[in-house]
Amino acid sequence: MSILRDGMPKTEERVRLRLMLRGAVQGVGFRPFVYRLATDLKLFGWVMNSPQGVLIEVEGDKESVHAFLLRVEMEKPPRASIQSLESSFLDPLGFTGFTIRESDGSGATTAVVLPDIATCPDCLRDIFDPPDRRYLYPFTNCTNCGPRFTIITTMARFAMCEACRREYEDPENRRFHAQPNACPACGPQLALWDQAGAVLAARHEALLSAAAAIRSGKIVALKGLGGFHLLVDARNQDAALRLRKRKHREEKPLAMMVPSVESAKAYCRVSDLEERLLRSPESPIVLLLRRESGGAPSAEAAERPEAIAPAVAPRNPCLGVMLPYTPLHHLLLRELNFPVVATSGNLSDEPICTEEQEALERLGGVADCFLVHDRAIARHVDDSVVRILLGRELILRRARGYAPLPIHLTRPLPPLLAVGAHLKNAVAASVGPEVFVSQHIGDLETSESLTAFGKVIDDFQRLYEVRPETVVCDMHPDYLSTKHARACGILTEEAQHHYAHVASCMAENELDGAVLGVAWDGTGYGLDGTIWGGEFLLTTEAGFERAATFRPFKLPGGEKAIKEPRRAALGVLYEVFGEQLFKRRTLLPLKEFSGSEISLLHQMLTKGINAPTTTSAGRLFDAVASIIGLRHYVRFEGHAAMELEFACAEARTDARCEFSIEQPESNRKSQIENRKSLLEVDWRPIIVEIVGDVQRGVKTSLISAKFHNTLVEVIVQVAKQIGQQRIVLTGGCFQNKYLTERTVRRLRQEGFHPYWHQRVPPNDGGISLGQAYAFIRKNRNQAFMQSQSIEEGAAE
Ligand SMILES: [Zn+2]
Ligand SMILES: [Zn+2]
Ligand SMILES: [Zn+2]
């Protein structure tokens, strides 16, 4: 079974899978089909029609449940069309049969705005069928596919022609009431512009000229579904380098669009679950392991295609791959028949461009020409990024295909707005028990992203008619999201950053009560005003206690240390060696500084000037990356940690370092806020061992694996000392596949019950959901009292 390719040992693990299917799935024999499939696979559970679609829960052994997930789509009734499939694995409930449940009508009836849907097979046939009137027409779609969220309210300017109108009004037609119905006679058209906006070609000629430009190594800006993409030939190293230089994107991996699944398989290893994801209506970027990075190419890849340029994803064993998801992409990729880089049309961390004139201004120095059209984009939406981890989807960037679908909570919330954090920002708004999480907005550092942030908030409130009574934000006083919240003029509530991470993971796993949340990330504002980031939070009925953390260390240079792991390394090494550190000039991070820099840093560390204290796990990763000489500077967030993860892929070892867990004297004295005492993980022995390994010339891959393995044991040991069964893994560090998979496996071995993210990112993209859930956890008694008194009032 291919599921085992994900490295999981075969177990008799019992799981429950919940599926929400939206689209043409009602009145087409879907429920009887699900019944047959589930009973055929000996799964228990139920299926039900809800106002939003078909809701399914199946429970059984893991392999059969995975088979169900694959087959429900592949073998669906002929008239059914799935426009969105959301899956979550939840704790089994012990179902004992399979039933078709009657719709109880109690489900949320909030009108849900559907995400954009990848081109369906029927429309694909139309555009490649010469006699069809939509032959080669790039804006073809039907009721089952096409843009939704990105174009709502923008198609009004195109009046349908007679033929389109007839389809639109015919209940038997696939385009009956298809909002953006269009054809070459009446709909949007393509044009190719030069950098000054002069028209070079129109209609299909524009597409052919754009393809020719890509073939010759040029950079083409393409107006897609939710914004502009920048495209180059992914096999052309010079073109990829030029794109990086012009876009100011030094090393962060670039995503690719490949012509077909076969092409993806030629470059990468693709499991059944990954293939499902590539072909899904959500059509995200899927992180796939390259073929060359492990094992010999299989028979499928016998004909080796031209290699992907190293500049696409330098030193990265994975490639971010997606399939064409609009007719325009299909036509272009069919014409090219080779993979292209398809990266967001923006400069480094700004939001994606959505409008031609804006694109000419902002991308004028980047793209050589612009393939544009006259269908407006109402909302910017980036491509989503997903990876398969432990046989489940893990969304790393939640945008096209997933936003703005809600996360359903088990209890209703008062209307509120949650504004997220600072990096990878996304906002959320609640309507009853539904929390609508916005598309990825980005880092709130440029004026463009701040504008986008304000726009999304306004848009969300309009779209869902939310009048928030409360706005929830981070505790960091300098986050622009916090400032925005405080300037809103409505009641503001704060949720501690790492608690919001934990609450986010709890919300999507439907957990309440006590859990031990392991929240590891780069930076978050702590209750004591210091930088937290290696936290073990024990949740209580309404909040949390900080149960354990890492021994704090100093970050010389503060903010600068985020971009320079060598600084984090110095802070960590100073904590280990004290003054002796400055005599050990052979340590690799020290060699990275000049003599005068060292004396300045020395002062910072000894006097504590501009050297804030942190417990950040992310910075600990950075420090280790620098100590072993892997990376002293990062080009993007999480860069060093990512390379450290990649480094251990080659090592097969269970080796680990020593560490200790203590209850420091200082903590025992100052337990004013915390009822329980705070444990501290002393990581200094780990660093001592790593420094020794480097001196002994131990391989980087081995040291890296040892470091990862040790962190896993840290979690296991803390979990044992705390004694809480349910462990929630969250924060940017758990994007790390090696760390997460190993932690889950070890925790299970020790009898714990681990949970991790699936539908919202473990990184700060998931914070807004957590803020909303933290609010309801804190205020539920009040909220309950209020709703009771309202009911009592109504009864009078
Ligand atoms: Zn279609
Ligand atoms: Zn028409
Ligand atoms: Zn965070």
Per-residue pLDDT of 511-542, as tens digits, reads 999 999 999 999 999 999 999 999 999 999 89
Q: Which residues pair with 53 in a beta bridge?
A: 50
Q: Which residue has the higher pLDDT, 166 or 295?
A: 166
> What pLDDT was estimated at residue 550?
98
Whether the predicted pLDDT of 458 surpasses 90: yes
Q: How far is the CA of 125 from the centre of ligand 1 (A)?
A: 9
Query: What's the mean pLDDT when you consider all of the chain?
Result: 91
Question: Which DSSP state fits 249?
Answer: -
Query: What does the pLDDT read at residue 1?
Result: 34
Taking CA atoms, 292 is separated from 233, 299, 494, in Å, by: 20, 14, 47
Residue 743 has a pLDDT of 98
CA–centroid distance, residue 764 to ligand 3 (Å) = 5
The Å distance, Cα 81 to ligand 1 centre, comes to: 9
Strand order from edge to edge, sheet including 98-101: 81-90, 14-24, 53-61, 44-50, 98-101
399 alpha carbon to ligand 3 midpoint, in Å? 18
Distance 201 CA to ligand 1 centre (A): 27
CA of 330 to the centre of ligand 3 (A): 37
Distance CA 536, CA 519 (A): 6
Q: Which DSSP helix (H) or strand (E) runs through 768?
A: helix 767-795
Residue range 766-785: mean pLDDT, rounded? 83
Is residue 792's pLDDT more than 50? no
Closest to 225 measured CA to CA, from 158, 180, 267: 180
The torsion angles phi and psi of 628, rounded to 5 degrees, stand at: -90, 5
Ligand nearest to the CA of 146: 1
Q: Which of 237, 238, 243, 298 is nearest to 266 (CA)?
A: 298
Cα of 178 to ligand 2 centre, how many Å? Answer: 12
By C-alpha distance, which of 648, 618, 630 is closest to 592?
A: 630
Please tell me the predicted confidence (pLDDT) of residue 782. 59
Question: 21-30, 342-351, 480-489: lowest mean pLDDT where?
Answer: 342-351
Ligand that lies nearest to the alpha carbon of residue 735, given by its number in the listed order = 3
CA distance 724 to 716: 11
Cα–Cα distance for residue pair 623/16, rounded to 1 Å: 40
pLDDT band at 789 (very low <50, low <70, confident <90, very high): very low
Q: Which two tokens stand for residue 660?
A: 């200790």
Provide mean pLDDT across the span 165-183: 92
Range name among 33-47, 157-171, 292-306 with the lowest pLDDT average: 292-306
Please report how the helices 700-722 and 684-696 are oriented relative to each other, as an axis angle in degrees rounded to 10.
160
pLDDT at residue 784, as a whole number: 44
Cα 78 to averaged position of ligand 1 atoms, centre (Å): 14
- pLDDT value of position 713: 98
pLDDT at position 108 is 53
Confidence of residue 109 (pLDDT cuts 50, 70, 90): low
- CA 184 to centroid of ligand 2, rounded, Å: 6
* 293, amino acid identity: S
End-to-end CA, the chain = 62
**Once rounded to an integer, what is the mean pLDDT over residues 487-503?**
95
Ligand nearest to the CA of 764: 3
Alpha-carbon gap, residue 634 to 641, rounded angstroms: 10
Written as one letter, the residue type at 699 is K
Q: How far apart are CA 760 and CA 538, in angstroms?
A: 21
How many angstroms does the Cα of residue 341 sit away from the middle of ligand 1? 25
Q: Which of 785, 109, 770, 228 is CA-nearest to residue 502?
A: 770
Residues 160, 19: Cα–Cα separation, whole Å: 36
CB 474 within 8 A of CB 495: yes
Q: What is the pLDDT of residue 665?
A: 64
Q: Which ligand is nearest to the CA of 164?
A: 2
Question: Is a pLDDT exceeding 50 seen at residue 293?
Answer: no
- Rounded distance between C-alpha atoms, residue 557 and residue 622, angstroms: 15
What is the biggest distance separating any 2 CA atoms in the chain, rounded to whole angstroms? 84
How many A from CA of 117 to the centre of ligand 1? Answer: 9
Pinpoint the alpha helices (H) of 540-616: 560-563, 565-577, 588-591, 595-607
- Calculate the CA dihedral of residues 526, 532, 537, 542 and round it to 10 degrees: 20
Which is nearest to 710 in space by CA: 620, 576, 605, 602? 620
Please tell me the number of the ligand nearest to residue 166's CA.
2
Is the pLDDT confidence value at 623 over 50?
yes
175 C-alpha to center of ligand 1: Å? 8
Question: Tell me: the pLDDT tens digits for 694-715?
Answer: 999 999 999 999 999 999 999 9
CA dihedral 718, 721, 724, 729 (to 10 degrees): 0
**185 alpha carbon – ligand 2 mean position (Å):** 5
pLDDT at position 597 is: 95
Q: Give yes or no for a contact between 395 and 757, defined as CB atoms under 8 angstroms apart.
A: yes
Q: Among all chains, which residue has been given the structure tokens 């050990």?
A: 584
State residue 303's pLDDT score: 55
Report CA torsion sign: 327, 352, 198, 195: negative
411 Cβ partners below 8 Å, 6+ apart?
A: 433, 776, 780
**What gap in Å lies between CA 420 and CA 456, rounded to an integer?**
12
- Quote the pLDDT of residue 676: 58
Q: How far is the CA of 173 from the centre of ligand 2 (A)?
A: 14
Q: 10 Å Cβ neighbour count for 109?
A: 11
Measured in Å, residue 171 CA sits from the centre of ligand 2 at 17
Angle at 318 between CA 312 and CA 320, to 5 degrees: 65
Distance of CA 342 to the CA centre of its chain: 18
Run of H or E including 231: strand 228-233
The confidence band for 110, taking pLDDT boundaries of 50, 70 and 90, is: low
Per the structure block, which two tokens stand in for 435?
């929390």
The C-alpha angle with vertex 509 and arms to 505 and 510, in degrees rounded to 5, equals 115
CA of residue 479 to ligand 3 center, whole Å: 13
Q: Point out the ligand nearest to the CA of residue 163.
A: 2
Strand order in the sheet with 406-413: 406-413, 428-437, 416-418, 470-473, 491-494
- Give percent of the chain with pLDDT exceeding 70: 92
Whether residue 658 contacts residue 689, with contact meaning beta carbons closer than 8 Å, is answered with yes
Q: Look up residue 606 and give its two tokens.
A: 């000894």
Residue 377: DSSP 8-state:
P
Residue type, 447: S
**CA 119–ligand 1 middle distance (angstroms):** 5
196-210, 377-391, 435-449, 663-677: least confident range: 663-677
Which one, of 286, 391, 292, lies nearest residue 7 by Cα? 391
pLDDT at 156: 67
- Give start and end residues of each alpha helix (H) in 150-302: 162-169, 203-215, 237-247, 261-267, 272-279
What region does 473 belong to: left with phi over 0, alpha with psi -120 to 50, or beta?
beta
Ligand 2 geometric centre to CA of 133 (Å): 9
Averaged pLDDT, 610-637: 96
Q: pLDDT at position 107, please?
A: 52
pLDDT band at 667 (very low <50, low <70, confident <90, very high): low
d(CA 718, CA 739): 16
User: Is the distance from CB of 168 to CB of 176 less than 8 angstroms?
Assistant: yes
pLDDT of residue 560: 94
| Whole-model pTM over 0.75 | yes
* C-alpha span between 710 and 17 (Å, rounded): 32
Q: How many Cα atoms occupy the beta-carbon half-sphere of 732 within 13 Å? A: 22
341 close to 219: Cβ distance less than 8 angstroms: no
Q: What is the DSSP letter of 388?
A: E
Q: How would you classify residue 400: left for phi > 0, otherwise alpha for psi between -120 and 50, otherwise beta?
A: beta
Ligand 1 centroid–CA 131 distance in Å is 17
Nearest ligand, CA of residue 133? Answer: 2
CA 382 – CA 266 distance, rounded (Å): 26
What is the secondary structure of 513-559 as a DSSP string? S--EEEEEEEEEE-TTSSEEEEEEEEE-SSSEEEEEEEPPEE-TTTT
Q: Are 25 and 54 in contact (CB under 8 A)?
A: yes
Tell me which ligand sits closest to the C-alpha of residue 23.
1
